[in-house]
Every structure is written in C-alpha cells, then in structure tokens.
Structure 1
Amino acid sequence: MSRERPAAVRRRRQGGAVRAAVRRRARAARRSRRDPAYGPRGRTGQVSRRGFLTLADIAIADWPAVFDRAALFNQHRLGTSLAGKTVAVVMEKASTRTRVSFEVGVYELGGHAVVIQTEGSQIARGEPAEDTARVLSSYCQAIVVRTFGQERIAAYARGSTVPVINALTDQHHPCQVATDLFTVRDHFKKLTGLRYAWIGDGNNMAQSWIEAAGMFGLELVLACPDGYGPDPQLVNAARAQQAQTGGSITLTTSPEEAATRAHVLSTDVWASMGQEAEAAKRKASFKGYRIDQALLDRSAKDSIVLHCLPAHRGEEITSDVLDGPRSLAWVQAANRLPIAKAILERVI
C-alpha cells in the first residue's frame, strides 16, 4: 500500500483549508442578507458617491435608521455585513478612538481593516492623495481618512472609486458629531426640543455641530472667544436650512449665556492637532471658557456633558465635571464603535 509524500499531504490539507475558508465566507455573506438578528440593511436613501465627508452626505431622512442600527449594535456587537471586504484606514493624524473604533468595527462585522499611517507609507514621501486613493480603491471596498484640510479628503474622494469616510479634518468631524447625536438621542429619546451649548473653540467639532443644527432643526448656542468663532459661511448655510427644519443658531462670547438652560453642554480642547504652537496664546484667550460646576449649575436640571476626548483636565473642563454624574463622555466614547459600524454599512 503506497503512502503519500509529506509535501503532497500538506498541499492537500492547505487546499482543503482554503476551500473551507471560501465556503465560510460565502455562508457569512448569505447570512448577512437574511439574518433577522441584525435587521435589514437596505439603503432607503441616496449616499453621496464620495462616501461620507460631512453629515449631509447621509440624507436627513436616513439618519434615524443609522441611529437605530447603531443601537442594535450596542445589543449585538458581531455581524457579517462586511464579510470578505477590506477597508483601508488612513491615519495622517494621531488617533486613539477613531482608529480603534473603525479597526474593531470592521473586524466585528466580518471584514479586515488595513491601517496606513503617514510614516511607513508613501504618503510621507509626498504621494498625491488622488494617487493613493486610486491605488487603495483597487484593493479595498472603502477608505477611512483622518487628515488635515477638507481639500485633502476631497482629493482622496476625487481619486477614489470606492466610498471615502471622513474620520476627521480641520473643518469637519462628522463621525464624532454623529456619535454625539446618537448619545443624546439614546439618553433623551429625542434630538429636538433641547437646547445645545458649545463652549470653546469654533473648530471642526463646532462646525459639524452647526451642520447638525441646520439639518435637524436644533437650538444651538456657541460661546467662542473673539477671533475663534466658526466659519461664517457654514453658519449662514445652516441658518438658511433652518428655515425649513426649524431651530436656531446663536453666536456669543459668553459661556454663561450659552450654558443657561442648556440640556447638552459640549466642549473640546483649546488647541487642536496642528495648533500646538498656539497653545500658550490660546490658553490666555480661552480663560473662562471652561465647563466647571459653576457653569453646569446654570444648565437644565437634567443636563448632560459631552467631550469628544482627549481632555485637558483643568483647561476646557474640570475633572469633577468630566468624571461626575452628568458626564456622558465615557458613554460617548464607547458609542464611537456602533456609529462607525452603522456608517460603514451605510456607505459600503
């Protein structure tokens, strides 16, 4: 009786393993289309061909479904909707929550995330964003990008043939504000009929909140020091949209005015990434723009505090507030994961 050579046995076993893996992927894909535990994934509206560069790239009418999907992911973490798919996660800026939430999110939906940082890639040597996106499009089903100017992520979108997701730019942070809205909705069971206060820099977070106020008809008051307010064009566009959606946007230099009767108080660091050289100047300019207990006492009795993190304790927020009973900052951080999954499913 002849015996197979060891090499032949290994090849046969490897071939069987590959075929088994392919069958598992196929079964997972079929389950993702019919599994009632994870609900329907059909798109009820049109997503921008560019993917998700700002909040408006998902239609207003579709956001309730996105939030409902995220809520379901908080109950059932694992899914199969990205089985056999790969997502490039391009980190041109430092990240903790954004990188981990997308990387884990892709994995828990059955896909594979490839993290690309500036150092160690051709991005560091000046490869144009359009060229990087064009190449990644041939390997991946989506590209998540955390970068600097909005024009740079627009360049990724121009070069890409797959959806591009904005994981932060200097002008917008739609994934974070989507998370904040989800956190508010989960807590208050609504988005409208609440007063929102932004305390601090008119940065990317503030500007995505302004976009949200226009889309969802929110009452938003922003308290920013002179010279540090949001882009007036974005404010005007959101106010024009509120003619149909309702709500209001008020700009002030008084944190006390913004906090009075507010249900949701939000803040961020005084100096964002790339502004480190201005830190000392900003620290002087933002003195008094701190969410502390005295400011919190002016808010509604059932108010909550949000912070997108990382926090500079003692600057834009005090430790007793950040760690206090009204702070949802840690819930908010955890909610980055289900929102990342819901957005990935929506655009891929």
Structure 2
Amino acid sequence: MDLLQLSDLQPADIRHIWSLVNDGASPVLSGTVGWSFEGSGIRTRTTFIQAFRQLGLAFTELPRLLQTSERPEDLAGYLDPFYALYVVREPDHARLSAFAKASRRPVINAMSAQGHPCEVLTDAYYIDTAIRPLRDARVCLWGPSTNVFRSWHELAQVEGFELVQVCDRRFHEPLPQVAFAEPSHLPGAVDIVITDSSPAHAGSGAAAQPALTPLTAEHLAALGSPALLPTPPFMLGRELALDPLAYPGFVGYAQKQLLLPVQAAIVRWALASKADCSAGQGAAQASSQIGL
C-alpha cells in the first residue's frame, strides 16, 4: 500500500504502523529501495537510510526521478522490475501521485509540497505514547498552513482529535476538523503546540506581507504551558520568539529519534500490505481459473 497522504489511511492503518514500532521483531527484509530525495532534509534522509540498513534493504539513489519529461507510467514500467518499493521526496505532489498510481510497487512520500506524512505520523506517535492518547489530545498548530500542517489536518480528519490552528486571520481556511484562532484570541489550554517553518508566501522585507506573529513565552503560558514541538528546521525570531532550550516543555532533540523506528515501521507496513494485496489477487485468479 502507498503512503502518499494521511487522508488515504484508515485509523486501523495508523494503529498497525504504530504497533510495529516496538513489537520486538527484528525482521530482515529483501529487495532494493528506489530512493529519490530532492532537497536537504537532513533528519529525514538520515533516518530513512538507517531504516533501510536496519531492515536489510539495499537502496539505489535515483536523482531527480520525477523531474524529467518522461511519463510516470513509463518510468514505473521500466523501473518496477528492479525495486521492491520507492521512497520519494518530490515537491510536485500530483506527479508523485501519478507515479504511484502507475507503479506496481508501494510508494512512500518522504515529503511533497502537499504534505509530510512520515514526519507527522512520527510526531503523532510521540503525542500518543508520551503525552496522552491522540484521540483525547488537544493539539495546537502555530502559524499559517504548511505541508506539515496539511498532514496534521488530514490526520485530524482520520483520527478525530481536536485540532486548533493559531495564525493571523488572513491565513484562516475553511477546513473540516480544524478550528482557527488568532494570536490575540487564544483558544485556552492545549496539550501540545507544534510550529513549522513559515511558508514562502508569508515573506519578509518591505515587499512582503506583514510579519507573522511568532510564538512567545507569554503565548505558551496562556495556552496552559503545553509541550512544545517545533518542527525543524526552526528559526528563532521567525516562528519562535523564544529559545526552546529555555522552555521546560520543549520535547527535546531526542524526540526526533523516533523518526527512525516509525519510518522503519512504515516501510514494513507498506511492503507487507503490498504482499497481502498480491497474495489476494493471486488467490482470486486461481479461484477464477478453478471455476472455469
């Protein structure tokens, strides 16, 4: 099964992935990963490569896999015989989706302009296991929508937890399952505040729109002194007006170590889902032939 966006999953899929994080198994898988990773993404790159190695998977770098004029169905047709799955970081979400639809192998979105599902599944797992069960949690996003926040929007729709987003009114959106508030009218106590790098359209300088409202210590106090999870890379003076290291509720650098086991679990889930699907198709074909 592909993991392109969290809205494609069911709650059972999410719980299955999370169940694999600490299941005690040490599977050694076989096959080669088609690995295409545009941009820096130093944390995601580090942990995915380590996950491949832990799982016994080879990986082949495919630079600019989807940034050619070749049709996605042609790329998939030629490459599928060589790979067990693909892990792709590609800004063009529509092209990534077209490639996944054409491929007979699972495709994992390691980040696109539309979303960052693997990172959000990791951070949600942290909330679920270290703060409170996600379905009972009150999660606050600070700032205008980004690809990370769009994945949080999708996850809230799937899981049904309370999600509030605080940003200047010009960035409010009509979204299901998301309540919007302004920095001057905070929504009361929350369990965790998540920030992300501000989108390019927010800008800075004379030609840009007015500056965003950075998160302050006073804001956090008004929100009930919740846990603080700044999505890296974070910029002091941009989305944050305080140094997280000086805030007692900062989740810490170690929180991102969870990227490794969660990404390994996602790879295991994707490969097992594809194998189950193939087995089911084979059984259906055999049954059809017997019927003939």
Using the TM superposition, give the Cα deviation of residue 171 of structure 1 relative to its aligned residue in structure 2, in angstroms: 1.4
Q: 1:335 to 1:318 in 2, by over 3 A?
A: farther
Q: 1:296 to 1:342 in 2, by over 3 A?
A: same
3-state SS in 2 of match to 1:70: coil
Which of 238, 243, 256 pairs up with 1:315? Answer: 238
Say if 1:81 and 1:345, in contact at 8 Å, map to a contact too. no
Which of 35, 58, 64 pairs up with 1:89? Answer: 35
Q: Distance in 1 between matches of 2:79 and 2:246?
A: 41
Alignment RMSD (CA, Å): 2.6
Q: Distance in 1 between matches of 2:234 and 2:85?
A: 30
Q: Distance in 2 between matches of 1:292 and 1:107?
A: 40
Q: Distance in 2 between matches of 1:282 and 1:80?
A: 54
Establish whether residue 69 from structure 1 lines up as the match of residue 20 from structure 2.
Answer: yes
Establish whether residue 110 from structure 1 lines up as the match of residue 56 from structure 2.
Answer: yes
How many residues are paired up?
Answer: 271
Higher RCO (Cα < 8 Å, 6 or more apart): 2
Q: What residue is the counterpart of 2:180 in the other structure?
A: 251
Which of 79, 88, 95 pairs up with 1:152? Answer: 95
Flag structure 1 segments of 5+ consecutive residues without an equivalent.
Answer: 1-46, 240-248
Q: Distance in 2 between matches of 1:277 and 1:320?
A: 22
Q: 1:145 to 1:229 in 2, by over 3 A?
A: farther
Establish whether residue 80 from structure 1 lines up as the match of residue 9 from structure 2.
Answer: no
Q: What residue is the counterpart of 2:284 in the other structure?
A: none
1:176-215 maps to which residues of 2 (within 5 A)? 176-215=119-158
What code does the residue aligned with 1:66 have? I
Establish whether residue 135 from structure 1 lines up as the match of residue 78 from structure 2.
Answer: yes
1:205-284 maps to which residues of 2 (within 5 A)? 205-230=148-173, 232=174, 235-236=175-176, 239=177, 249-254=178-183, 257-258=186-187, 260-271=188-199, 275=200, 278-280=203-205
3-state SS in 1 of match to 2:189: coil
Using the TM superposition, give the Cα deviation of residue 135 of structure 1 relative to its aligned residue in structure 2, in angstroms: 2.9
Using the TM superposition, give the Cα deviation of residue 224 of structure 1 relative to its aligned residue in structure 2, in angstroms: 2.6
Q: Distance in 2 between matches of 1:215 and 1:136?
A: 33
Q: Distance in 1 between matches of 2:159 and 2:20?
A: 18
Q: Distance in 2 between matches of 1:255 and 1:90?
A: 42
Q: What residue is the counterpart of 2:289 in the other structure?
A: none
Flag structure 2 segments of 5+ consecutive residues without an equivalent.
Answer: 272-292
Q: Distance in 2 between matches of 1:166 and 1:64?
A: 19
Q: What residue is the counterpart of 1:56 in the other structure?
A: 7
What code does the residue aligned with 1:320 have? D
Say if 1:136 and 1:143, in contact at 8 Å, map to a contact too. no
Q: Distance in 2 between matches of 1:212 and 1:285?
A: 30
Which of 200, 216, 219 pairs up with 1:295? Answer: 219
